[in-house]
A and B are shown apart, each in its own frame.
Chain A
Amino acid sequence: MNTANDLLTIRNLTTSFRIKETYHAAVEDVSLSLKKNEVLAIVGESGCGKSTLATTIVGLHNEVNTKVTGEIHYNNQNLTQLNEQQFNRLRGNDIGFIFQDPLSALNPLMRIGEQIAEGLVYHTKLSKQQRAERVLELLNQVGISNPERVARQFPHQLSGGMRQRVMIAIALSCKPSILIADEPTTALDVTIQAQILDLLKALQSETETGIILITHDLGVVAEMADRVAVMYAGEVVEEAPVQELFKNAKHPYTRSLLNSIPQTHSENERLEVIQGMVPSLKNLPREGCRFSARIPWIDASAHERKPQLHEIAPGHFVRCTCWKHFHLEGEEGGGAV
């Protein structure tokens, strides 16, 4: 898992939030790595901890009510040990961040150009004139056709797609080596989604940035990702190269997720869903297989007592042993071993 090629290595990361007097882990014992020029997708339902993971990496979590343990290695630094000042030097400069909703993520009172240039003030020695030029260059790069005009406009004057392009320009302004995109297309309509994904892909091949793509949209994963980590209830339950995952998913959760994608060509008119719901942070089972409650037809003996990640094929990790006995509800017999 750990090679010299790694841009970012996360080891045994646990992020806990305080609710009243006790800490509850929203991300538990997560180990992942990101290579140069790679797109790592993190997939899961709402509340599975994927956004928490993203904000922990760049230290954007609430310091008072959050406890972080484990290591995040980037460039010979352990990010979990940084203070605010050290983080400020890193954020925007080495790691860019794209948020879900580009309208609320942009300051409504500030001109676009000013918002893009803001990061440049802290991470570059460019003069005001040079910063203005760089802003136009960036707007051009993200495919905005009249950058001079857009730079003088306010966020509400732009369309959703344009705003997300501006967000991408902000994230890329200081040429970061890592880009974290937290559901970058969720707030956009479908045609714009495709454009934004194409843009991200084009920019990535140009700049060799490593991208961590957080999403719940498996279509986006298929389009963008090189490797996929599936998260459930704060844990990584399966990790595999994207082809392998779509062809050969093993973990019951991943298989149920894939099964619930509506198929246009299928005769089946029923929308497949996963029974039950993600347990809330306070009620999360801390022992045994966390997914067992949602596949009650699988015998309890199929689960490991302390489920571990097992490498079942090169680069393909699955947590717990229950996948060996798993079959989708209604299917006959046990799953293939």
Chain B
Amino acid sequence: MWKTIVRRTLLMIPQMFVLSLIIFILAKQMPGDPFTGLITPETDPSRIEELRIQSGFYDPWYVQYYHWITNAFQGDFGQSYTYKIAVSTLIGERALNTFWLALLSAVLVYAIAIPLGMIAGRKQDTLYDKSITLYSFISYAIPTFVLGLIFLYIFGYRLMWFPTSGTVDVGVEPGTLEYYWNRIYHLILPAMTYAILGTTTIIQYLRSEIIDAKTQDYVKTARSKGVPMKRIYRRHIFRNSLLPIAAFLGFTITGLLGGSIFIETIFGFPGMGQLFIHSITSRDYSVITALVMLYGFLALLGSLLSDIIMSIVDPRIRID
């Protein structure tokens, strides 16, 4: 199996190369240049021209690409034009915030969806099942920003149980236990919003998988052995029904790492989604290219993760 993982990882190199080339060419097609934002009425046009020549703006595209990609390899994506700090530092900070939010969201999504899906599938067509399906429909129909705002209003503004924005309170000493608790405290509301909206597909998928598994022949075999239904659910039905959920796990995790624009905007949470939108509106090229590269990398990583997870949970898939 390790051989496959190494092979799949090596395969990512040409994929990343093609991706980087496409991103670079697209970025070059965008109007304006890095210095457009610096122009003020007092700027001397010849000074801009000088800067352009200095920065290699007139070099052939492959020379520019070569400079960009070699620097990127060393973790240097250049400077952010709007934040005036290194892109890697900027993204690193945001990525860490998003990582914790994604982690908590994912844990909550699975902690809510798996038990509900199991109950709905097992007690098919009962009141339990119908209530869970109703919940699924409602959560599927509510737009993220509506639920986010409702939560913000009730729990943040009215009840004041949770903070309404940011990642940590000002003045808390970093590194202390209180600091970490404070960070988690800030994560709860956005993570809950995400989790409640993200459960629908998993619940409904799991439900139909369980209903399908119940009629499988191996369930009949288990019954013919005299195994009680309770154990059949635990040992046979649930294990088989969770396979497709496991298949999505890799994509779900890396998808969450991309950040959520709505949730981050509503909860004033400085994460990847917010950074991405901001970099587009302010034409912060170096940040955009770095982020798109990162998203591409995450997508590839997601499929690799899913393959690895599948090969662990399903013995029929042994990629040798």
Q: Using CB atoms and an 8 Å cutoff, list the residues of chain A in contact with chain B.
A: 58, 60, 84-85, 87-93, 96-97, 99, 101, 104-110, 115, 118-119, 122-123, 154, 156, 167, 170-171, 173
Known: A88-B228, A101-B217, A109-B239. A60 touches B223 (CB 8 A): yes
B41: interface (CB < 8 Å): no
Query: Is there a chain A Cβ closer than 8 Å to B221's Cβ?
Result: yes
Q: How far is the CA of A53 from the CA of B115 in the complex (A)?
A: 37
Inside 8 A of A97's CB, which chain B residues have their CB? 221, 224
**B286 an interface residue at 8 Å Cβ cutoff?**
no
Other than the given A93-B226, A122-B228, 15 more pairs (CB < 8 A) read A87-B226, A91-B226, A92-B225, A97-B221, A99-B221, A104-B216, A108-B218, A110-B236, A115-B221, A118-B222, A118-B227, A122-B226, A156-B315, A156-B316, A171-B224
19 contacts between A and B (CB under 8 A): A60-B223, A85-B228, A88-B228, A91-B225, A97-B224, A99-B221, A104-B217, A107-B235, A107-B236, A109-B240, A109-B315, A110-B235, A115-B221, A119-B226, A122-B225, A122-B227, A122-B228, A156-B315, A167-B221
CB neighbours (8 Å) of B28 from chain A are none
Per-residue A-contact encoding for B204-239, CB less than 8 Å = 1, 0 else = 000000000000111011111111110000011001
Asked whether, in the complex, the Cβ of A108 is within 8 Å of the Cβ of B316, the reply is yes
Q: Does B314 contact A (CB under 8 A)?
A: yes
B226 touches A92 (CB 8 A): yes
Complexed CA–CA distance, A85 and B229 (Å): 10
**Chain A residues, Cβ within 8 Å of B220:** 60, 99, 105
When the two chains form the complex, which single residue of B217, B225, B240, B316 contacts A170, counting CB atoms closer than 8 Å?
Answer: B225
B226–A90 CB distance below 8 A: yes
User: In the docked arrangement, what's the CA distance between A104 and B313, Å?
Assistant: 18
For the complex, what is the distance from the CA of A176 to the CA of B225, rounded to whole Å? 11
Task: Say whether A91 contacts B229, CB under 8 Å.
Answer: no
**Taking the nearest CB of chain B, how far is it from the CB of A182, in angstroms?**
10
Tell me the complex Cα distance, A170–B220, Å.
13
Q: In angstroms, how far is the closest chain B Cβ from the Cβ of A89?
A: 7
Residues of A within 8 A of B239 (CB): 107, 109
CB distance from A110 to the nearest CB of B (A): 7
A-B interface contact total, Cβ < 8 Å: 80
Shortest B312–chain A CB gap in Å is 12
> Within the assembled complex, what's the spacing in Å between the Cα atoms of A21 and B98?
56
Partner of B226, one of A89, A105, A107: A89
B225 to chain A: which residues have CB within 8 Å?
A: 91-92, 118-119, 122, 170, 173
Q: How many residues of B are in contact with the other chain, CB < 8 A? A: 22
Q: Which residue of the partner chain A has the closest CB to B218?
A: A107
B226–A108 CB distance below 8 A: no
Do residues A119 and B315 form an inter-chain contact, with CB atoms below 8 A?
no
Residues of A within 8 A of B224 (CB): 58, 60, 91-92, 96-97, 99, 171
A164 smallest CB distance to B (angstroms) = 12
Q: Which chain A positions have C-beta within 8 A of B217?
A: 99, 101, 104-105
A91, B223: Cβ atoms under 8 Å?
A: yes
Q: How far is the CB of A287 from chain B (nearest CB, A)?
A: 34
Nearest neighbor of B315 in chain A, beta-carbon distance: A154
- Chain B residue at minimum C-beta to C-beta distance from A167: B221
Which of B217, B224, B314: most chain A Cβ within 10 A? B224
Within 8 A of A (CB), among B136-161: none
Q: Which chain A residue shows the least CB distance to B313?
A: A109
Contact: A106 with B218, CB < 8 Å?
Answer: yes
Q: Note all chain B residues with C-beta closer than 8 A to A171.
A: 224
6 pairs of A and B residues whose beta carbons are closest in the complex: A92-B226, A97-B224, A119-B225, A92-B225, A104-B217, A91-B226
How far does the alpha carbon of A104 sit from the alpha carbon of B221 in the complex, in Å? 9
Residue of A91, A104, A109, A154 most packed against chain B (CB within 10 A): A109
Cβ distance A78 to chain B, nearest Cβ, rounded Å:
18
Instruction: Name the distance in Å between A101's Cβ and chain B's nearest Cβ.
Output: 6
Least CB distance, B211 to chain A, in whole angstroms:
13
Task: Kindly provide the distance from the CB of B265 to the nearest chain A CB, expressed in whole angstroms.
Answer: 43
Q: How far is the CB of B213 from chain A (nearest CB, A)?
A: 10
A105–B223 touching, CB < 8 Å: no
Q: Once the chains are docked, how many angstroms separate the CA of A171 from the CA of B221? A: 9
B240 neighbours in A (Cβ, 8 Å): 107-109
State A333–B218 Cα separation when bound (angstroms). 52
Contact in complex: B316, A105 (CB < 8 Å)? no
Q: Mark B234-267, 1 if CB is under 8 A from A, else 0.
A: 0110011001000000000000000000000000
A106-B221 CB under 8 A given contacts A154-B315, A156-B315: yes
User: For the complex, what is the distance from the CA of A99 to the CA of B221, rounded to whole Å?
Assistant: 8
Bound together, the chains give a CA A194 to CA B239 distance in angstroms of 35
Contact B227 A88, beta carbon cutoff 8 Å: yes
B236 contact set on A, CB distance < 8 A: 107, 110
